[in-house]
Structure 1
Amino acid sequence: MSYYNYNHPSSGYGAPNAPPNGFNNQGGFSAGGFYPNPPNSTYSYGPPPNFNQAPPPPPSHDGYAPSYLPPPASHSYGHTHPGPPPPPPLSTYPGVSYQSPVPNQSFPYQQQVSVIHYRNAPVPAPVGYDLPPLADLAPGYDPNMDIDKIRKATKGIGTDEAALIATLAHLGSLPMASLSASFKARTGKTLTEVLDSESSGYFGETLHGLIQGPLWYDVELVRSAVQGAGTDELLLTEIIADLTPSDRQNLCVAYRMRYGRDLQADIRGDLSAKTERLYTMLLSANPLPENYPVDYQQVEQDVKSLYKAGQGKIGTDEITFCDIIINRSRPHLAALCDAYTRKYKSLTKVIKSEFSGHMRQTLLFIVEGAKPKHAMEFGPGVWRDAKLLEKSMKGLGTKDKQLVRRIVRYHWDKPRFEAIEAAYHKKYRKSLEGRVAGETSGDYKKLLVAIVRGG
């Protein structure tokens, strides 16, 4: 299935003035996601994550280098001269870009709940999350009928799981948030409390993840990764390694609101030595926006630095690798992977030979999410995430916890999730829906299939 001319219908729940589902009509990254370009074209990057103003697109040049990357600029946009900064966000909290919905004229006295984008999905901002629910949080969606269905499905002896699946599996992030807030206002109980008591097993875990929404589910997952004996580094990597700086900021704010604790301090307290430094760098990273032109002089310097830190010496300078891979934009990393491969060998092979354990796992996760091989067709990280879904189901027994959290986390960004399905089909010659159905059973199977199918 080609995604070159793909236009996903608007869900109706995006941020005001945002491009439909995060697409632009030229391809590349936009504020809401990735839209592939036509064949034989270059990457064309949309605006950074600010929905009120965007800088002009990078200038075009003739005779540029790799065909899938923007051309070298005539002046440096490197880390020492970053060029023009993006316009300042509309913020009520430092570093967090908020977008308020149009005020509800029927209730002018009520303070508005701000809407932000987290991992390309619109969600209520963590600051002010407990304000009174407003109908215009999810325009066009009335939660009252769904509340009645849920109460009927959970009333009396037994639970109507089929009714819960039909009601919840298709909801977008803002309707889900509106439903949760309105349910508490009407019943005096949270939706989480009711459904956790009425469901169990992996069916219950999937329902729980759905009703948390993208941001609060990640907050719970990152807490589980660092809580108790030991650390789940794989889970920690999947949660924080792909986030934008504003996403990480919102995650840290929500984590403090939920648990009254500092996320960076909890990670530092749970890890040690270079692994601790790795995750601290991930939470503090602030690479250039993805619409900035790639500085090819910086790319060449990074190639030399990585060679000297790995292949060109006895032992490995791990921090140099972490610094470059974590603190560069994905377009820069794509150019770096190409340049390093042409001069030496595959950067992923170098990482596999120079590293082990969690540091190897995390660096590979980032690099494989930026490699340009399949980005033109599917988008950055999509091929990697399709492979991760297969790893959840491959071999003897299904890794259900991984499968649940990956499907629930991926599905909020619907255009990207459809790209993951297409990449999965291309790589494994089978549908993701069919594969999930074959690895699960009962109501758990029905719920996961409904999520994959999109309700």
Structure 2
Amino acid sequence: MSYYPSNHQNSDYGAPFAPPNNQGYYPPGGFNLPQSPGNPPPIPSYSYPASNYQPHPPLPPFHNGYAPTYLPPPASQSHGGYTPGPPPSQSTYPGVSYQTPQYSHYQNQASIIQYRNTPVPAPVGYDLPPLGDIAAGYDPSMDIDKIRKATKGIGTDETALIAVLAHLGSLPIASLSAAFKARTGKTLVEVLDSETSGYFGETLHGLVQGPLWHDAELARSAIQGAGTDELLLTEVIADLTPSDRQNLFMAYRMRYGRDLQADIRNDLSAKTERLFTMMISSNPPPDNVAVNFQQVEHDVKALYKAGQGKIGTDEITFCDIIINRSKPHLAALCDAYGRKYKSLTKVIKSEFSGHMRQTLLFILEGAKPKHSMEFGPGVWRDAKMLEKSMKGLGTKDKQLVRRIIRYHWDRPRFEAIKAAYQKKYRKSLEGRIAGETSGDYKKLLVAIVKGI
């Protein structure tokens, strides 16, 4: 998908705007901010380089507390390996070819929502099964028999569990969990938790919960007990759309009987509390809205005055701009600020410390123009986050597990992450994980990464 519209023309901004090649996000010279309001620069199309990818339209806001109106997924969109409507053509990423598995349309009996670009059953209460045949084309009966056989009697057949669970997308996982409870009177999570342990068990636990309920659990673990895991909270919340956040808030309330927004505010203090309150309350323009380059120029000046241009730092101005702008806007802002002053990420590293620095960099690096045209927004950052889980002495297994599970649901995007990892570190993600883990835990993670 081209970053530039077909009608780009030479203008008053210096060098002509030629379409970028596969090596860059912007044309040579970058964006020249407008000298004449009548001739805006070309508008970025901020999406993954797969020809069949279209962002899901935002869901309507909540009314009367927690009662969203759910929309079916668009007929042409592929998520997590399961395809509503006619199967799309093959999706191709740089250096990788990924064929979406063939499945038939979703059934009307179940409410399907989009959460982090992945179809999931609408949250109807923790441990309550979704209604209807939510994963048409998938029959969980044989997999239930295999799981029961693998967990029956003395010992557990871990290899059989890997073969059943590692390749399933979000809707089949939900269908399997619902059917398992109906047939056995136990939840799949309960059975697997009792039969497995260690990071192998933790990985299976996250898998069978699916994307939405797993995120609700991660958010709870980030703020439960002494202290707060701000990095985990950032990873769960920072990239969510407003509709994603609403569904996460609903799932959290249904599972824990608590308000996630209130829990976050009560667990933090001072400027960190303000930062996260801004994140969970933000409503930036959708990424398909045209970038206002006059606003970009205004933000460049505001950030300079809030940081480099004064003694001390106006942290809230930085938070306001970085949190409340769309990804295309932030991409243009990084480019414009870097050409006029210096790298915006370097400014944040010098002006901030601790959790604020960590969170602002996470958001900004998910929108930076570098490699975004080649791999998609945030893909390069997420490849780096996986490496950070394994770098140095010892493996940060909890980080590795949650990142692999969270990233893998959106399978086309995960294939792009694997390609970005290969390009940056000159080795495959599967090989790197295999070298850092062992036993059934290794086999499970490698199987998830391979998707087979």
Please say whether Structure 1 and Structure 2 have the same fold, judged by a TM-score greater than 0.5.
yes
Deviation at 1:418, TM superposition (A): 0.5
Cα distance, 1:89–1:405 mapped onto 2, change above 3 Å: closer
| 1:99 correspondence with 2:46 | no
Match of 1:121 among 101, 118, 121: 118
Cα distance, 1:453–1:111 mapped onto 2, change above 3 Å: closer
Write the distance in 1 (CA, Å) between the matches of 2:399 and 2:350.
26
Deviation at 1:74, TM superposition (A): 4.9
Cα distance, 1:158–1:278 mapped onto 2, change above 3 Å: same
* Secondary structure of 2:366 counterpart: helix
Match of 1:63 among 5, 10, 28: 10
Deviation at 1:99, TM superposition (A): 2.8
Cα distance, 1:209–1:43 mapped onto 2, change above 3 Å: farther
Match of 2:202 among 201, 205, 209: 205
1:340 corresponds to: 337
Write the distance in 2 (CA, Å) between the matches of 1:116 and 1:204.
28
Write the distance in 1 (CA, Å) between the matches of 2:420 and 2:70.
33
| 1:153 correspondence with 2:100 | no
Match of 1:392 among 389, 392, 398: 389
Kept in 2, the 8 Å contact 1:111–1:131? The answer is no
Kept in 2, the 8 Å contact 1:97–1:116? The answer is no
Match of 2:436 among 431, 439, 445: 439
* Secondary structure of 1:189 counterpart: coil
Write the distance in 2 (CA, Å) between the matches of 1:168 and 1:392.
23
Cα distance, 1:391–1:88 mapped onto 2, change above 3 Å: closer
Match of 1:352 among 349, 354, 370: 349
Kept in 2, the 8 Å contact 1:309–1:318? The answer is yes
Deviation at 1:125, TM superposition (A): 1.0
Deviation at 1:89, TM superposition (A): 4.6
Cα distance, 1:152–1:341 mapped onto 2, change above 3 Å: same
Write the distance in 2 (CA, Å) between the matches of 1:296 and 1:344.
17
Kept in 2, the 8 Å contact 1:192–1:211? The answer is yes
Cα distance, 1:421–1:237 mapped onto 2, change above 3 Å: same
Q: Which consecutive unaligned segments of at least 5 residues does structure 1 have?
A: 1-26, 28-36, 45-58, 77-85, 103-109
1:421 corresponds to: 418
Deviation at 1:63, TM superposition (A): 3.2
Kept in 2, the 8 Å contact 1:95–1:249? The answer is no
Write the distance in 2 (CA, Å) between the matches of 1:363 and 1:89.
26
Identity among equivalent positions (%) equals 79
Deviation at 1:389, TM superposition (A): 0.5
Kept in 2, the 8 Å contact 1:278–1:359? The answer is yes
Deviation at 1:267, TM superposition (A): 0.7
Write the distance in 2 (CA, Å) between the matches of 1:446 and 1:190.
24
Kept in 1, the 8 Å contact 2:130–2:174? The answer is no
* Secondary structure of 1:249 counterpart: helix
Superposed CA offset, 1:91-134 (max 9, x none): 886794523599xxxxxxx9933111111110011146766544
| 1:300 correspondence with 2:288 | no
Kept in 1, the 8 Å contact 2:338–2:344? The answer is yes
Write the distance in 1 (CA, Å) between the matches of 2:301 and 2:323.
17
Write the distance in 2 (CA, Å) between the matches of 1:315 and 1:162.
57
Q: Which consecutive unaligned segments of at least 5 residues does structure 2 have?
A: 41-55, 76-106
Cα distance, 1:370–1:89 mapped onto 2, change above 3 Å: closer
Cα distance, 1:342–1:91 mapped onto 2, change above 3 Å: closer
Match of 1:261 among 258, 266, 275: 258
Match of 1:138 among 132, 135, 138: 135
Deviation at 1:206, TM superposition (A): 0.2
What TM-score do the two structures reach when normalised by structure 2? Answer: 0.81
Q: How many residues align?
A: 387
Greater relative CO, 1 or 2 (CA 8 Å, sep 6+):
2
* Secondary structure of 1:117 counterpart: strand
Write the distance in 2 (CA, Å) between the matches of 1:427 and 1:254.
36
Kept in 1, the 8 Å contact 2:223–2:263? The answer is yes
Write the distance in 2 (CA, Å) between the matches of 1:60 and 1:127.
46
Deviation at 1:75, TM superposition (A): 9.6
Write the distance in 2 (CA, Å) between the matches of 1:249 and 1:345.
37
Write the distance in 2 (CA, Å) between the matches of 1:280 and 1:327.
12
Superposed CA offset, 1:297-354 (max 9, x none): 0000000000000001110000000000000000000000000001100000000000
| 1:270 correspondence with 2:294 | no
| 1:451 correspondence with 2:423 | no
2:370 corresponds to: 373
Residue type matched to 1:394 in 2?
Answer: K
Kept in 1, the 8 Å contact 2:203–2:405? The answer is yes
Cα distance, 1:214–1:43 mapped onto 2, change above 3 Å: farther
Kept in 1, the 8 Å contact 2:167–2:447? The answer is yes
Write the distance in 2 (CA, Å) between the matches of 1:295 and 1:63.
19
Cα distance, 1:75–1:219 mapped onto 2, change above 3 Å: farther
1:49 corresponds to: none
